[in-house]
Structure 1
């Protein structure tokens, strides 16, 4: 299936390489946040506020690490620093990847207001993060030439990978 004007590629007008960076960073933040969320749920976070702060700091740390890694990798591969446009894109895609923690932070905020328990918010947050991985890959594949079966396989594989992280964290900390 050929991309058309009606089916824009993920990340709009970004180059294919920039689109790949945006997708990669969203996946990194989702997996990292998922791991931390599961550990917090298993160890009964002291409060919703401390759990939210931990998720936020972890996501910010991941964003900073990937941004620094991208800058250094670009220097090594191309023997130059990013130009202004490239750096602006790298910052935008890094910051944009934080969208995956919005729902977990809202759920933990509701727990902080006493609407439910922090542990429940963390479990639902883990589910939301696995779902966000599926959404990221689904959006990334939209407009590609990939036929339906491989799309379904890739989307299913990312969902399974998210569940595998849940299982591994449960086994190691349970």
Structure 2
């Protein structure tokens, strides 16, 4: 298991590690709380949530990675990458609990996932986000992700914005 500890601004320890089955409920809670605090409406849909209910199968067993970020042992952040093909991974479920956002935890998590993809010899990372998540769009664009296209959202009013970054 790969651990990284970083002192946070508050002197607390932020640790990134690979997902374990015992993390399942807390990962779901982080996802749900983060979406509920966003402009999006939280809808539990088995079709869209199947990856979070089967993290091992969906991410780890396919050659991807799923990390949990813990602050003094409490899970506050999640994120994963899943291979799409031999050259490309998709970044998914990058979440930080609202009360811990804008402290660098999401950036550190994104750094680790990008590093994982690069070390595994992937050439690009793709992701998508919702048009109402303007802060997320700014973060990705500052990190060098380029918009590739937009599509109507399949379940809610709005659009999905797709990004890609060469690594």
Same fold per superposition (TM over 0.5): no
Higher Cα radius of gyration: 1
Q: Scaled by the length of structure 1, what TM-score is found?
A: 0.24
Q: Which has the higher contact order (CA 8 A, sep 6+)?
A: 1
Q: Scaled by the length of structure 2, what TM-score is found?
A: 0.25
Bigger strand fraction: 2
